[in-house]
């Protein structure tokens, strides 16, 4: 709960300039749910859990990879005045 | 014995570090100079958390995990390489993936054989996880479909829509409560997946393009909250924190967005977005407007000292951002002070315009948000509006009968000259006439945003021959 509160304060200070990359970053972080999916698929307690867990890993991993990639691409584009033009 | 214990301690420590890195990652996002470090922190945290999880002693089968990780990466790479204009639909799609993961895990958890029955608290949290997850899956898919224009962008409304939608959600909650009280009625569980799935679709049906920034933020928040709920079910602090951060971020963004559209937050929360369909579109008496050519516009811009460009979704649709950069360069070279005024809900997701302009190599210190730029308009020679409409409508400020009355706008009408690049005199999203266009100081530049800006640039660099 404390962490959520800190998060709240931190996010409130982020400039509107970076709201799109913020959303794609939190999206990637959210994919930490993959942890739960890995345990499900790995423990293999029954077939249902293994199958659902595996699909869950796929969808979460695609978010991790895609989310970090695109956030990085976006942020690379933000340059201050006077920076060399690409 | 000590080996297992030591392993668990190691896992706990990696999770703790990952949690700290996630928070740092968001802190560094507050400025464009440190933001890339933030990504690095996020990536490291994620890698640690996954590595730590793989150490988990209960895991017996690594084959499936490996295949799934590789498959996810293969899907993820193209999703990370989409065009910048397609970022809103990509984001919506990834909310859907995130929610899919959470919902599947929740479902599997429900059916897992367990030694002792779930506590009521766990059942309640699990139900919340699955309900939020399921409605985010279909809601985000619908939003992505609308943004990609696979589905009609127009809001579809019918009588009693809110009643039907709230009813659906209500039924899902009732079923969840029954499950909490009688956890053994497992046959009810499919209902709390199926009903929210349906609700997600119904929720997005009445939503039009201009409401997308709010909706995407809201879905972002739901996805985060359902992940946090999953954290409670699995008793994982890491998940709770990451989910709460995502939920908080989406929540703050949707609050910003609803404030920027002058909607109350509860109005947004209950998914009653399509309400303002009061069709004011009639009474289009042909009032005279002044229009100008690219040549005239270029002459006025060249003579100006301060220019503020106001981009809107129209600029994104026309892919005009690179032409706008040429205009920016050409004017800056002549010593004109050019800034960009960006309304919070311009475009289809929060910060959409900033990303597009940054992609076109416009320095970010030239991109100002509404509160920063509004004081400047009185000293501005030319306000050039490219593909924006309702966010510049002075009726929001002074016409209490206007449906958008009270919505904060960019005060472009205070500039000495206002130029509006627009395809035609058609009304904006809200179907509201914009009195700005009929002002004496306003020049209408009719044409395609990309083509027209291109023409102005050509006139400017043509050396003012004639």
| B195-238 confidence digits (pLDDT tens) | 999 988 888 887 766 678 888 888 999 999 999 999 888 888 88
Least confident of A6-20, B116-130, B411-425: A6-20
For residue A51, the distance in angstroms to the closest alpha carbon of chain B comes to 9
Residue of A nearest to B129 (CA): A33
CA dist B274 and B207 (Å) reads: 6
Question: Which among B211, B246, B376, B390 is annotated as catalytic?
Answer: B390
Reply yes or no on whether the pLDDT at B452 is more than 60: yes
3-state secondary structure (DSSP) of residue B183? coil
Reply yes or no on whether the pLDDT at B184 is more than 50: yes
Residue of B nearest to A14 (CA): B30
Q: How confident is the model at residue B4 (pLDDT cuts 50, 70, 90)?
A: very low
Task: Output the pLDDT for position B308.
Answer: 93
Reply yes or no on whether the pLDDT at B15 is more than 50: yes
Q: How confident is the model at residue B261 (pLDDT cuts 50, 70, 90)?
A: confident
Residues in a beta bridge with B220: none
* Chain A residues within an 8 Å CB radius of B248: 4, 7-8, 11
Task: Output the pLDDT for position A86.
Answer: 41
Chain centroid to Cα B110, Å, comes to 32
For residue A56, the distance in angstroms to the closest alpha carbon of chain B comes to 4
CA dist B102 and B107 (Å) reads: 9
CB of B241 within 8 Å of a chain A CB? The answer is: yes
Residue of A nearest to B224 (CA): A30
Torsion of CA B252, B255, B256, B257, to 10 degrees: 120
CA dist B461 and B128 (Å) reads: 60
Q: How confident is the model at residue B129 (pLDDT cuts 50, 70, 90)?
A: very high
Residue showing tokens 């020679």: B381
Element (H, E) at B311: strand B306-311
Provide the number of CB pairs (under 8 Å) joining chain A to chain B.
Answer: 354
The rounded radius of gyration (Å) of the Cα atoms in chain B is 26
Residues recorded for chain B? 466
Among B402, B388, B401, B405, CA closest to B345: B388
Among B45, B56, B68, B37, CA closest to B239: B45
Contact B104 A56 (CB under 8 A): yes
pTM over 0.80: yes
Residues in a beta bridge with B367: B340
CA dist B465 and B141 (Å) reads: 53
CB of A48 within 8 Å of a chain B CB? The answer is: yes
* Chain A residues within an 8 Å CB radius of B369: 15-17
Element (H, E) at A40: helix A34-43
Residues 173-232 of B with CB under 8 A from A: 216-217, 220, 223-224, 227-228, 230
For residue A34, the distance in angstroms to the closest alpha carbon of chain B comes to 7
Give the Å distances, CA to CA, from B227 to B8, B104, B174, B230, B322.
22, 11, 22, 5, 39
For residue B279, the distance in angstroms to the closest alpha carbon of chain A comes to 31
Q: How confident is the model at residue A4 (pLDDT cuts 50, 70, 90)?
A: low
B390 classed as catalytic: yes
Residues 9-28 of A with CB under 8 A from B: 10-28
- Angle, helices A19-30/B2-28, rounded to nearest 10 degrees: 170
Q: What tens digit of pLDDT does each residue of B266-317 get? A: 665 554 444 444 444 444 445 677 888 888 888 889 888 999 999 988 888 8
Reply yes or no on whether the pLDDT at A84 is more than 70: no
Contact A7 B244 (CB under 8 A): yes
* Chain A residues within an 8 Å CB radius of B243: 30, 32-33
Residue B279: left if φ>0, alpha if ψ -120 to 50, beta else—which one?
left
Average pLDDT, chain B: 83
CB of B170 within 8 Å of a chain A CB? The answer is: no
Contact A73 B58 (CB under 8 A): no
Residues in a beta bridge with B386: B311, B421
What's the ipTM?
Answer: 0.88
Residue showing tokens 């309304």: B343
CB of A2 within 8 Å of a chain B CB? The answer is: no
3-state secondary structure (DSSP) of residue B242? helix
For residue A52, the distance in angstroms to the closest alpha carbon of chain B comes to 6
Of residues B126 and B214, the one with the higher pLDDT is B126
Contact B32 A36 (CB under 8 A): no
Of residues B159 and B191, the one with the higher pLDDT is B191
* Chain A residues within an 8 Å CB radius of B81: 69-70, 73
Q: How confident is the model at residue B426 (pLDDT cuts 50, 70, 90)?
A: low
Contact A10 B30 (CB under 8 A): yes
Contact A78 B364 (CB under 8 A): yes
Residue of A nearest to B137 (CA): A59
Reply yes or no on whether the pLDDT at B5 is more than 90: no
């Amino acid at each position: 709960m404390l962490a959520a509160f800190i998060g709240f304060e931190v996010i409130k200070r982020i400039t509107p300039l970076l709201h799109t990359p913020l959303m794609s970053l939190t999206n990637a972080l959210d994919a930490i749910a993959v942890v739960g999916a890995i345990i499900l698929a790995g423990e293999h307690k029954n077939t249902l859990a293994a199958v659902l867990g595996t699909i869950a890993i796929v969808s979460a991993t695609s978010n991790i990879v895609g989310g970090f990639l695109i956030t990085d691409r976006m942020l690379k584009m933000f340059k201050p005045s006077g920076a060399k033009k690409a | 014995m000590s080996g297992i214990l030591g392993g668990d301690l190691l896992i706990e420590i990696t999770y703790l570090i990952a949690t700290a890195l996630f928070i740092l990652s968001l802190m560094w996002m507050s400025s464009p100079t440190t933001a890339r470090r933030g990504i690095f922190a996020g990536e490291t945290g994620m890698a640690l958390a996954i590595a730590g999880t793989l150490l988990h002693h209960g895991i017996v089968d690594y084959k499936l995990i490996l295949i799934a990780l590789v498959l996810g990466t293969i899907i993820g790479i193209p999703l990370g390489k989409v065009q910048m204009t397609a970022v809103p639909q990509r984001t919506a799609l990834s909310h859907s993936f995130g929610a899919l993961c959470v919902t599947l895990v929740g479902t599997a958890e429900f059916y897992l054989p367990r030694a002792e029955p779930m506590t009521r608290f766990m059942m309640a949290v699990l139900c919340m996880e699955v309900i939020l997850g399921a409605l985010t899956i279909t809601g985000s898919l619908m939003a992505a479909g609308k943004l990609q224009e696979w589905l009609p962008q127009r809001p579809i409304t019918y009588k009693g829509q809110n009643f039907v939608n709230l009813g659906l959600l209500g039924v899902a909650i009732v079923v969840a409560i029954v499950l909490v009280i009688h956890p053994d009625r497992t046959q009810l569980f499919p209902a709390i997946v199926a009903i929210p799935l349906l609700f997600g679709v119904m929720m997005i049906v009445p939503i039009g393009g201009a409401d997308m920034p709010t909706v995407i933020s809201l879905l972002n928040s739901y996805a985060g909250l359902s992940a946090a709920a999953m954290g409670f079910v699995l008793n994982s602090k890491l998940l709770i924190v990451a989910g709460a951060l995502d939920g908080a971020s989406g929540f703050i963004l949707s609050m910003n967005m609803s404030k920027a559209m002058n909607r109350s937050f509860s109005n947004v929360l209950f998914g009653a977005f399509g309400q303002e369909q009061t069709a004011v579109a009639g009474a289009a008496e042909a009032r005279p407007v002044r229009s100008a050519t690219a040549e005239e516009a270029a002459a006025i811009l060249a003579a100006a000292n301060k220019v503020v460009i106001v981009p809107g979704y129209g600029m994104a649709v026309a892919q005009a951002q690179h032409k706008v950069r040429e205009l920016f360069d050409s004017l800056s070279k002549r010593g004109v002070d050019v800034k960009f005024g960006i309304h919070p809900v311009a475009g289809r997701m929060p910060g959409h315009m900033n990303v597009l302009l940054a992609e076109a190599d416009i320095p970010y210190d030239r991109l100002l948000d509404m509160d920063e730029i509004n004081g400047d308009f009185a000293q501005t020679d030319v306000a050039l509006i490219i593909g924006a409409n309702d966010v510049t409508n002075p009726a929001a400020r002074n016409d209490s009968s206007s449906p958008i009355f009270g919505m904060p706008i960019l005060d472009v009408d205070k500039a000495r000259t206002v130029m509006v690049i627009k395809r035609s005199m058609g009304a904006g999203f809200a179907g509201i006439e914009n009195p700005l266009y009929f002002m004496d100081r306003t020049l209408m530049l009719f044409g395609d945003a990309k083509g027209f800006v291109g023409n102005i640039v050509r006139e400017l660099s043509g050396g003012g021959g004639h």
